């Protein structure tokens, strides 16, 4: 019996279950393959007793329509930085990767499929360099992974953000207000850009184009007082003013390394008031609503293609690689090409040009 282990790491994302289902269904077409899942990324392997689940066709039946991940996930710690509490209450971070690789060999695991974002794929590459047969599958609502045109989860997040803009338009119109919607995306403005265009915002503020508050105020002024009497701003959580920093706080959660981005919308509201913009303003932070719920059709399809390809790469022993979408093909790319950078919105991106073409201001 050959055995493949699946793990989902990092923030959850609509489509994770569709990938798991596709891996299991494709594996079931081969003789003598078993798929198992590690609970909460690699924690299931590192814990004693081991926490794994057998993933067979019955278990994954119909899960492609479910949000989240049936095997759980985490964006803290991991095999290279396992938190160990010291007597004084602080934590040491221990490298348990060799122990994990030995345990996987003991469990007769032939290959690992690691579904996750950049942080998870960094771990995949490090494990590959230590000799583990591993394949990555790209996941993130932020769409900021290098080497793939799209990640699954992104289109669902854009749909949710767009529906939020649509709802805000009706209340902004009724009250003659300027409403500011803060969306996720970390240091990339993909969700904000797509939702601003799809929803018809006046202003779209993204990390890649730092904004000048006077320009934002002028644009809102012209739309608010001389135009339609209300305005919508879509701001990415990582947006920042020219010369300023992202709004965020360092998390005190054990093993959580990322800066928690928050406060971009409320800071903007304050800056607009200081700049003399007088309309009534309110902020909405969409938060984790963008990650929850069922994946849309596009993400289910992309996730299914990724899952099938990942298992076929296992059969071909195409390790140290990540599945990627390069329109119209699903290909494999070296993990090395994916890590250490981000796919950001370029100022001359066709969608930025289209947005400017219909009068959306980026505050620059
Ligand atoms: O990377 C996905 C993402 O949802 C980002 O858009 C966001 O900044 C971050 O994760 C939030 O992480 P957490 O779930 O830990 O708050």
Domains of the chain: 2-152+295-327 (3.40.50.450), 156-292+346-357 (3.40.50.460)
Interatomic CA distance for residues 247 and 254, integer angstroms: 21
- 247-295: per-residue pLDDT in tens? 999 988 988 888 999 999 999 999 999 999 999 999 999 999 999 999 9
The Å distance, Cα 260 to ligand 1 centre, comes to 8
Q: Would the pLDDT of 228 be above 90?
A: no
Catalytic-residue membership of 142: yes
Q: What is the pLDDT of residue 149?
A: 97
Q: What's the CA-to-centroid distance between 156 and ligand 1, angstroms? A: 15
Whether 206 contacts 193, CB under 8 Å: yes
Ligand 1 centroid, distance to 75 Cα (angstroms): 9
| Sign of torsion over alpha carbons 221, 222, 227, 230 | negative
Question: What predicted TM-score, i.e. pTM, was given to this entire model?
Answer: 0.97
Q: With beta carbons less than 8 A apart as the criterion, state whether 91 and 254 touch.
A: yes
Q: Average model confidence (pLDDT) for the chain? A: 97
Pocket of ligand 1 contains residue 265 by CB under 6 Å: no
- Determine the pLDDT at residue 226: 76
Express each pLDDT in 292-317 by its tens digit.
999 999 999 999 999 999 999 999 99
Residue 186 CA: nearest ligand 1 atom is 8
The atom number, within ligand 1, closest to the CA of 117 reads: 1
Closest CA to 201 of 165, 159, 236: 165
pLDDT given for residue 92 in this prediction: 94
User: If you search the block for the tokens 């012209």, which residue do you land on?
Assistant: 222
Ligand 1, from 9, 11, 40, 262: best to mutate by most atoms within 8 Å of Cβ? 11
pLDDT at 300: 98
Q: What is the DSSP string of 39-85?
A: STTTHHHHSSS--EEE--HHHHTTGGG--S-TT---SS--TTSEEEE
> Ligand 1 centre from 87 Cα, in Å?
31
227 pLDDT more than 80: no
Above pLDDT 70, what percent of the chain? 100
Confidence band for 225, pLDDT divided at 50, 70 and 90? confident
CB of 189 sitting under 6 A from ligand 1: no
Instruction: Give the Å distance between the CA of 255 and the centre of ligand 1.
Output: 15
Average the pLDDT over 233-244 and give the result: 98
The CA-based diameter of the chain, rounded to the nearest angstrom, is 71
Tell me if 141 CB under 6 Å of ligand 1. Answer: yes
**Over residues 77-90, mean pLDDT:** 94
Q: Are 314 and 78 in contact (CB under 8 A)?
A: no
| Active-site residue, selected from the candidate residues 142, 299, 318, 364 | 142
pLDDT at 349: 98
The predicted model gives 125-141 an average pLDDT of: 98
Q: How far apart are CA 350 and CA 213, in angstroms?
A: 24
Q: Atom 13 in ligand 1: which residue has the minimum CA distance?
A: 11
Q: Is the CB of 120 under 6 A from ligand 1?
A: no
Structure confidence by residue, pLDDT tens digits, 107-132: 999 999 999 999 999 999 999 999 99
């Amino acid at each position: 019996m050959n055995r493949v282990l699946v793990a989902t790491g990092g923030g959850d994302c609509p489509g994770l279950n569709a990938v798991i289902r596709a891996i299991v269904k494709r594996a079931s077409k081969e003789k003598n393959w078993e798929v198992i899942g590690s609970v909460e990324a690699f924690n299931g392997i590192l814990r004693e007793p081991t926490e794994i689940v057998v993933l067979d066709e019955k278990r994954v039946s119909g899960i492609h329509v479910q949000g989240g991940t049936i095997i759980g996930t985490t964006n803290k710690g991991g095999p290279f930085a396992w938190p160990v509490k010291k007597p004084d209450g602080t934590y040491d971070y221990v490298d348990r990767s060799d122990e994990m690789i030995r345990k996987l060999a003991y469990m007769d695991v032939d290959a690992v499929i690691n579904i996750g974002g950049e942080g998870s794929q960094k771990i995949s590459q490090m494990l590959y360099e230590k000799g583990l047969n591993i394949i990555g599958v790209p996941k993130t609502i932020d769409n900021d992974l290098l080497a793939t045109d799209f990640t699954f989860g992104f289109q669902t997040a854009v749909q949710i953000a767009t529906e939020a803009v649509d709802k805000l338009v009706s209340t902004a119109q009724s009250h003659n207000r300027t409403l500011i919607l803060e969306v996720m995306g970390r240091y990339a403005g993909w969700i904000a850009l797509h939702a601003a265009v799809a929803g018809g915002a006046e202003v779209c503020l993204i990390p890649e184009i730092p904004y000048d508050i006077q320009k934002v105020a002028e644009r809102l002024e012209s739309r608010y007082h001389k135009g339609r009497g209300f305005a919508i701003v879509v701001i990415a959580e990582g947006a920042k003013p020219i010369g300023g920093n992202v709004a965020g706080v360092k998390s005190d959660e054990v093993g959580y390394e990322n800066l928690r981005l928050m406060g971009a919308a409320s800071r903007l509201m304050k800056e607009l008031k200081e700049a003399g913009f007088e309309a009534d303003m309110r902020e909405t932070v969409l938060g984790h609503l963008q990650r929850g719920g069922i994946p849309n059709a596009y993400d289910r399809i992309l996730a299914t293609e990724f899952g099938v390809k990942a298992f076929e790469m296992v059969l071909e022993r195409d390790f140290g690689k990540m599945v990627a979408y390069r329109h119209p093909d699903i290909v494999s790319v070296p993990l090395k090409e994916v890590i250490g950078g981000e796919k950001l919105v370029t100022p001359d991106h066709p969608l930025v040009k289209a947005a400017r073409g219909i009068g959306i201001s980026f505050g620059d």
